[in-house]
Amino acid sequence: MKASLWRVFFYLCFLPFLYLLSRAQNDQVILPNGFAPGEEALLPSYLFQVQNRPRNAITTPPGGSLRNMAEWEEIQALLITWTAYPSILAEIVRTARQHTTVLIHCSDSNQVKNYLNNQGIPLSNVKFLEVPYNSIWIRDYGPNSVYRNDVDSLLLVDWIYNRPRPADDAMPEEDAAYFGLPLYETTAPPTDLVYTGGNWMTDGRGTGFSSRLFLEDNGPGNNFGVTVKDTQDVKQILQAFMGIQRFVHMQVLPYDGIHHIDMHMKLLDEETLLVGLYPTGISDGPQIEANLSYILDHFQTVFGTPYKIVRIPMPPSPSGNWPSGGASYRTYTNSVFVNGAIIVPSYREEYDTIAHRIYREQLPGYEIKFIDCDNSGANIISNGGAIHCITNAVGVKHPLWISHKKLEDAYEGSGPFQVNALIKHRSGIQSATVYWRTDTTQPYQSAPMTLSNPSQNIWTGYIPDQPGDTYVYYYIQAQANSGKVQRRPIVAPAGWWRFKVLKSPNTGLINECFEKGAFPNPAQNLVCIPVHAFAEMQGRLELMDLQGRLVRLIHKGSFPQGQYRYYTDVSDLVPGTYILRLLTERGEARQKLIVTKQ
């Protein structure tokens, strides 16, 4: 019996229980990102269907070396399901089709084509797959792109969807058949794993991020009836099916009802975390700060450096309410990369303007598209999700993979500046080049890169030394033996990475090292203290009271060259004014820090 016929059989057998789901497919009911009323009662029959329906998937691990693709890598298709909120879906198609193929899962492709035509959206690069579905939240139930041996071949991995929506859960089988890819599923004991895509991020280098929702879904007493697992069990399954070597898991947030990290956090590249920011002490702010402190205290990037943290506001409701007061979970981190574009939810102009500036600063050269998720006609955020939640992606079959740690600011005279990058393609790399310039109105200059570490696929090139007070803009390009060409950033040459060449150090520069103020200030909990060292230096970072007495030693020893962030929790301190002091062999700099009550 084919999988599609089995679904029909299942619907007939369990029709009384699945009435809500059948109505949802006809758009009479909009299923939320969380559980709909009555859905939790469907879980026992749902697991029976998942584990007993005929399938075209493999339930044992793929074996060999595996790599779960990062979202900023090249994709061959963006996936959406056409049900509910068509105005938002249409705007996603309008932008995404200019950067990749858009595959629309739907029940009637002609109806969708007519809608898009009426919105003035061309159908080029838009494909249709008429299949059963239950809901719009394809990030959670869609497939994960995984490569063997980093770049050799593409396969798809699917978890058990943590909602009793059988058509959604089976969608990755339809996608695997459409793209002609093997599908591996975590549906058979002892590797039966319930998970959801909105609660998953990866750096493409073997690190996975998640909230601890997975313990609720798979641990003792779970409602799904899957084999009981602890954190180590889950990590081993993620490693066996997706190549995850480091598993960064955090406490769930009190007021995020679905506990998906994409509602407050996003990886922009291998070393940059975009994290939602609430006013001090508001809503999920304290738990987000605690989780961020946990990450920075226990994990470093794949390059062995601290994560760079970029904060972006979490908007309140129009009346000024927050999720802790029952407001929708408005967030700007729920965005999606589509090759040279990033599509971001929008809410209100006074907050959208700030979010747009932050995205533009972090991702120069990308098309940044904002889509309203909060108006009366398309208030998707009230159902617990936004843009990232309703999109998914399939990677290209033969990626040319480039992974690079961005250069930090450095002093004049310390060049040439070494550029290292991991570069890999299944056919091998023919050549690699670093392009650079010091004026964005002038052409790029080039410098060849050579294979400096064959066992690690590391290529190295050099940018010549530049005079002080100079910004250097650069990108990397590689060509595979197959002829394929790729750049990083993917939007280059329109986009680039940037670092500054500084004038020779002197003792007066210590104040510049400390010029970016600690935040939040005033503070109640975790405080972030940026220090920008223009050359490696030894010293101390201290917190003192107004009488000059040492309250806390925050850091002692080396301050590496570049911008790093140091953290301290002030929740145990008496409210008042304190002094942050940076003391090094080059001098001393101070900042005021105000601590308030919670």
Per-residue model confidence (pLDDT) at position 27: 45
Structure tokens at 477: 């390009």
Q: Check whether 158 has a pLDDT greater than 50.
A: yes
DSSP state of 406: P
Per-residue model confidence (pLDDT) at position 35: 86
For 98-141, write each residue's pLDDT tens digit. 999 999 999 999 999 999 999 999 999 999 999 999 999 999 99
pLDDT band at 507 (very low <50, low <70, confident <90, very high): very low
The model's pTM: 0.84
What gap in Å lies between CA 578 and CA 593, rounded to an integer?
5
Structure tokens at 597: 């009550």
For 548-562, write each residue's pLDDT tens digit. 778 999 998 888 887
**Which fold does the domain 401-502 belong to in CATH?**
Immunoglobulin-like (2.60.40)
More confident residue, 412 or 447: 447
CATH architecture of 3-394: 5-stranded Propeller (3.75)
What gap in Å lies between CA 509 and CA 524, rounded to an integer?
30
For 573-592, write each residue's pLDDT tens digit. 988 889 898 988 777 788 88
The three-class DSSP label of residue 459 is strand
Going by C-alpha positions, the residue among 139, 73, 519 that lies closest to residue 292 is 519
Tell me the chain's radius of gyration from C-alpha atoms. 25
pLDDT band at 40 (very low <50, low <70, confident <90, very high): confident
Q: For residue 367, list its beta bridge partners.
A: 341
Q: Do domains 401-502 and 507-595 have the same CATH topology?
A: yes
- In this structure, are strands 341-346 and 367-372 parallel, antiparallel, or unpaired? parallel
Return the CATH number of the domain spanning residue range 507-595. Answer: 2.60.40.1930
Of 70-84, 297-311, 336-350, minimum mean pLDDT range: 297-311
Tell me what the mean pLDDT of segment 439-444 comes to. Answer: 96
For 205-215, write each residue's pLDDT tens digit. 999 999 999 99
Q: Helix axis angle, 166-179 relative to 3-13, nearest 10°?
A: 170
Spans of all domains in the chain: 3-394, 401-502, 507-595
C-beta atoms surrounding 448 within 10 Å:
12
The three-class DSSP label of residue 458 is strand
What gap in Å lies between CA 56 and CA 5, rounded to an integer?
13
Q: Check whether 90 has a pLDDT greater than 90.
A: yes
Per-residue model confidence (pLDDT) at position 376: 64
For 6-18, write each residue's pLDDT tens digit. 454 444 444 444 4
Going by C-alpha positions, the residue among 99, 85, 77 that lies closest to residue 24 is 85
Tell me what the mean pLDDT of segment 417-445 comes to. Answer: 97
Q: Check whether 28 has a pLDDT greater than 70.
A: no
More confident residue, 510 or 368: 368
What gap in Å lies between CA 41 and CA 170, rounded to an integer?
20
C-beta atoms surrounding 362 within 10 Å:
16
Per-residue model confidence (pLDDT) at position 514: 75
How many residues are present in the chain?
A: 598
Going by C-alpha positions, the residue among 175, 179, 217 that lies closest to residue 198 is 217
Tell me what the mean pLDDT of segment 259-278 comes to. Answer: 97
DSSP state of 519: B
What gap in Å lies between CA 200 and CA 204, rounded to an integer?
12
For 508-544, write each residue's pLDDT tens digit. 456 667 777 888 889 888 888 888 887 778 888 999 8
